[in-house]
Amino acid sequence: MEKQPQELLECILVRLPAKALIRCLTVSKEWCACIKSPEFRSVFFNYCLESNIHRHFLISDFSASQTEFVLNRLDDNDTIIETIGEPTQPLKDLRVATELLGHSNGLVFLLNNYPSLNHPKMALWNPTIHRYKTVSRLPIRSTLQISVPHIQCLEPVYGFGYDKAHNEFKIIRIVQFRNTKLKKFVSDIMVYSANINGWRKVRSLPLTNYIVFQRTSFCNGFVHWLAEEAFDTRNKRILAFDIESKEIAFFFFFNDNVVGVGQLNLYTFDDHLCISSKEDDNEVRMMMSYGDADLWQFLYGVDWEEERDFQHPNSIFL
């Protein structure tokens, strides 16, 4: 086969959908090396985002016992034009419901939490091409052994995002330990790198009296969680973790002294961080200037009064 110039080859391949790229891996060693290169992956992701093509819409319908997924294909206007079907997710288990805890650049972070085990099962899944990567296990008490009676281990929280500088996907896990005697918290933060399929420890949280909740969103290179002061729930913050430097970049206040964190959720829309409140007719607000907590703009509200007991499915764009 005649060798194609690298730039021309990339120009052709980048316009193909993900499934077609998988088939192209067997064309030649040159094509395989090009498609698997970190540079091409970065170009492909950016091209899809900028041109708004090869877009998919994944709906996850969560119940107490199972999580079902439905994959849809979108046109350039983000309108569903085809229901592809129900892809079989890699962690499907009749004993437990799978949690979808984040997504970025076409990959979805899935987790099965087994109460009887010291470690959950995790996977990174690409539903459009039916491929996945199993995440190496990490025991909850791997770095902080709890033996003191007044030390309580809280439920771990997770986040997921794409490190553009190092061209890799990362998972962040935060485990907090509450000292009920001193009314203080210590934390254990681990970061998973997909390129090495391994975990590394980073420094603890600078705030010792805040509880971090599994309300997470990836935006502007940061993984975000909602946090609330343990002994004064009027004080809320948004924790921002820099996925590139692995540092806690900053905390900023969210000025809402009435609604509890359990009624709030974080989203990313149009590259902006958004927050919704179930108590306020499902109001959605957008942070217009990233990092400035005084610039939350109201977007819309939905009255769920007649449907409060309905289990609404979650949906994400891929």
DSSP letter string, 57-73: EEEEEE-SS-EEEEEEE
Q: For the chain, what percent of residues have pLDDT higher than 90?
A: 11
pLDDT at position 142 is 46
**Would you say 296 and 286 are in contact if contact means Cβ atoms under 8 Å apart?**
yes
pTM: 0.79
Average pLDDT over residues 66-93: 67
**Would you say 211 and 154 are in contact if contact means Cβ atoms under 8 Å apart?**
yes
pLDDT at 245 over 50: yes
**Distance between CA atoms of 253 and 114, rounded to whole angstroms?**
34
Confidence of residue 298 (pLDDT cuts 50, 70, 90): confident
Q: In this structure, is the dihedral angle defined by the CA atoms of residues 39, 24, 171 and 236, taken in order, positive or negative?
A: positive
**Distance between CA atoms of 80 and 73, rounded to whole angstroms?**
6
